[in-house]
Structure 1
């Protein structure tokens, strides 16, 4: 479905809502729900290896996200309408420190005092199938919307999901534009640059995806998904997820396989990547310990839609650990202090080490030096994450979170990063 089709159908559906079967406005409102999320976000990323004048990204902002979801009208086919209103306010920024992903900015890198956006999603439901048209914030293996800054990334398109067959969830969708997390503009779709390996200036009219998620056994889930970014690349995904009780805890393991190649008119040039990402661990008595391995092969980096998450276990805060031929080992540990009688307090630590990175398609000064030496690239990153949610009193359910990352690389500028987030969600 292209932009013209979406723009044609959306007004028609919105007009039809008041005249839906049985004129059941009461049913539309009966199951409606909503919440208002307040997010105070401070972001600091210091590229300590860089000699550039703009080697730091540092901003502070306040965000408001109003999420309203209607129920469905009565009848064989139910209709509804969701609305997502977003507002970001600048608290501190300057042109030499902007670009954190928190705030929208002009061509001179100066952040606006405020920016806002509204997304409407018309929906229809038949049995256990739901059709959504308009703003989409899906988190799927091949289209994982990014929600890690002040406001979420939202796509415009249509998506059909069905659970009519027991244990099976099927998904089919197409998006034609996106509003990035720090922008109010609807933009054409493109590929993530991956440090210059691909051109983000080359755009596509639409991105199509389809797949299924099947609970094969109580402890085993299998999934497959296909996607196509018109004239740029296609990707396939296969996933296996295992989860079962063991002794006093729970054992889990998951493997994700991705394959990408150029397609259509091949406007992006060569795309040749196969990546497998795995993770396994054990959780008991508040402790969770996990480790995994990720390996890429092929001539180019992992391809994905610009602005989204990679859906790789190796993705960290600073680096996505997804370049050509990169081998990644990672491990993590987390603890829920409720086991010690301190509910609301959690802490986690993650470490990743990447090796054998092919610098051939990386456009950085360090990568150029590696190519001259005939050497491969390496990187590592460590993340610490501590969160506390107030359990009672006037500030009940207010959350305080500190995320710290240290990244070092032989092919790009390393960085030290801190994110301080105070959040609260009021449910209507």
Structure 2
């Protein structure tokens, strides 16, 4: 009796007893998964050129993310519960080098030795529709959670996803609070959108309601279309449209085309006015992938998004997003998978992004960024599946500090069951 209960004891502690009334449902337990992700993160960012509050930001940390996904109880409507626990540990920081976004720090630069969060999500499934209430990690074009440092950003709210109709996925939801990637507490959401002077637009306020609805449809196996509408109460509303097409040109050569369009306007007193049109063409040949990207913006503001998330523009890069008001940007990207040369697990990516045609005060703004990303996943031996990544950034602008940055990331994901 005791030996059969041992696998459930840590889980029941993690969920605060919420699972105990459900353990009698065999399918709910049999279909459950528990995964532990470990991420060791080092970042060094040097500022130079323009006056900045600090000349360097440098931190080293260890993060853990525990994800539990239950199955569903039996019946026409099945019920389940998911859990997400995160923990970030400071290995090195302070001395005027905080604020990389990886660790919890106050304005004076004092860094917490550790921080973390815990969240539960109740869920119900009927046929191919799932209703979830609680903690969410959205990967939506109108709300794409940030996971570029140590721990993932999360939202609190309700979401319904339905795939009952063939080739059609419907999504409907509302978030009421956000926890930033380096925070322990939930708070009201805020908007980020740049005005012509390079500052945040006037009239923005904190909000406790972000509502969205969308549909994604596979027109053909090669052509997909989607549309989303979103509204951050008292800040902005937004329409999003997308088309993607995959074409096989020869046995070895393919072309992927994608178009993204945003139309954003004001809610309340916020001065939001933006149209964003982006186009991407990517040619793939064996292990090579060469991409060409261009986006155009019009209106009195830049593309608005929920503060802390990753803007879903094509030119969102490691350091900048290239979405100043009126900014146009183009990108050249190259990726190579060394598996084509007999070295599986090794990949290399480089991209160059340049933005212009925008103003910062009376100055004609210009900026550019060069990113290099080299990654390797160990294929065999006792360290199998450990991922190693080096990221390098070179950013230059005529209106802001220049940046040279390096990130070293070691990741491992363990399936507990």
Superposition TM-score, scaled by structure 1 size: 0.90
The question of 1:420 aligning with 2:408 is answered yes
Question: How much does 1:271 deviate?
Answer: 0.6
How has the CA–CA distance of structure 1 residues 94 and 272 changed in structure 2, closer, same or farther, with 3 Å as cutoff? same
Question: How much does 1:282 deviate?
Answer: 1.2
Q: Provide structure 1 residue ranges, at least 5 long, that are not aligned to the other structure.
A: 1-13, 360-367
What is residue 399 of structure 2 aligned with on the other side?
A: 411
**Distance in 1 separating the partners of 2:386 and 2:20:** 37
3-state DSSP class of the match of 2:409? strand
What is residue 141 of structure 2 aligned with on the other side?
A: 141
**Distance in 2 separating the partners of 1:336 and 1:397:** 17
CA distances 1:84-121 after superposition (whole Å, capped 9, x unpaired) = 11000001111521111110123422110001110111
**Distance in 1 separating the partners of 2:190 and 2:178:** 10
Query: Does structure 1 conserve the Cα–Cα contact (< 8 Å) formed by 2:99 and 2:109?
Result: yes
Greater displacement, 99-108 / 58-67:
99-108
**Distance in 2 separating the partners of 1:200 and 1:147:** 28
What is residue 316 of structure 2 aligned with on the other side?
A: 315
What is residue 255 of structure 1 aligned with on the other side?
A: 259
Q: CA RMSD in A?
A: 1.7
The question of 1:401 aligning with 2:389 is answered yes
The aligned runs of 1:120-159 (5 Å cut-off) are 120-159=120-159
How has the CA–CA distance of structure 1 residues 229 and 185 changed in structure 2, closer, same or farther, with 3 Å as cutoff? same
What is residue 241 of structure 1 aligned with on the other side?
A: 244
Q: Provide structure 2 residue ranges, at least 5 long, that are not aligned to the other structure.
A: 1-15
**Distance in 2 separating the partners of 1:69 and 1:327:** 42
How has the CA–CA distance of structure 1 residues 219 and 196 changed in structure 2, closer, same or farther, with 3 Å as cutoff? same
Question: How much does 1:24 deviate?
Answer: 5.2
**Distance in 1 separating the partners of 2:132 and 2:203:** 28
**Distance in 2 separating the partners of 1:209 and 1:411:** 35
The aligned runs of 1:146-225 (5 Å cut-off) are 146-192=146-192, 194=194, 195-198=198-201, 202-225=205-228
CA distances 1:103-162 after superposition (whole Å, capped 9, x unpaired) = 012342211000111011111100000011100101011010111110000000000000
3-state DSSP class of the match of 2:369? strand
Query: Does structure 1 conserve the Cα–Cα contact (< 8 Å) formed by 2:287 and 2:338?
Result: yes
Query: Does structure 1 conserve the Cα–Cα contact (< 8 Å) formed by 2:169 and 2:215?
Result: yes
The question of 1:275 aligning with 2:263 is answered no
**Distance in 2 separating the partners of 1:25 and 1:81:** 12
**Distance in 1 separating the partners of 2:163 and 2:24:** 25
What is residue 336 of structure 1 aligned with on the other side?
A: 337
What is residue 351 of structure 2 aligned with on the other side?
A: 350
CA distances 1:173-232 after superposition (whole Å, capped 9, x unpaired) = 000101100000111010125452236972012100001000011111011000011111
